[in-house]
Amino acid sequence: MARLIYILNGPNLNLLGQREPEVYGHTTLADVESACTTLAAGLGLELRFLQTNHEGQLVDWVQDARGAAAGIIINPAALTHTSIAVLDALNAFDGPVIELHISQVHKREAFRHHSYVSQRADAVMAGFGTHGYELALRHMAHVLG
C-alpha cells in the first residue's frame, strides 16, 4: 500500500490564484492539488490534500494523521503565527513535518517572521511560490526513503 501524505492548508488559501497574485501568484489551490496528485503517484505516495478556514478543523486533521499518515506537509497560513493549538497537535504526530509558505515570509511584515509551527517542523520552506508544494513532496519522498 502507498504511504499516505497529508497536505494541509489553513485559512484563506482557498482564495489562491483569485486575489493578491503579486504575492501568491496566479495558480489556484485546485491546480496545486492536481500537480501534487500527479507527482505523488510517480513517487509512490498517496495524498490527502485539504484546506480549511478553521483552526479546530486543522487540529482535527493533524490528529487524524496520527496512525494514518507517514508525513505531513502543512501551510498553516495565518495560524502559523498565532496557533499553539496547531503546534500542540503537530507535537503529537510522530512522522516528518514540513512547514511550507508560498511567500518569503521573512521579507514581509515582522508579524510573519515568527512561527509556532517551526518549533516542530523538520523542514521549513518559504518563497518558492506554489511550486514549493511539489518540492516539499519530493523532499518528503526522499526522507521517507
- Cα 68 from Cα 48, distance rounded (Å): 11
For residue 19, state whether it binds ligand CA2 (rule: CB under 6 A).
yes
For residue 105, state whether it binds ligand CA2 (rule: CB under 6 A).
yes
Q: Considering only residues 5, 7, 16, 86, which one is a binding residue for ligand CA2 as defined by CB under 6 A? A: 16
101 has catalytic annotation: yes
In order of 1, 66, 80, 129, the CA distances from 125 in angstroms are 28, 23, 13, 10
For the segment 69-88, give every residue that binds ligand CA2 (CB under 6 A). 75, 77-78, 80
CB-based contact 90:74 (threshold 8 Å) = yes
- Cα 52 from Cα 29, distance rounded (Å): 12
Q: Considering only residues 2, 15, 68, 84, which one is a binding residue for ligand CA2 as defined by CB under 6 A? A: 15
The interface region with ligand CA2, picked from 35-43, 49-57, 82-90, 97-105 by CB under 6 A, is 97-105
Residues near ligand CA2 (CB under 6 A), total: 16
β-bridge pairing 71-75 and 123-126: unpaired
- Among all residues, which ones are annotated catalytic? 24, 101
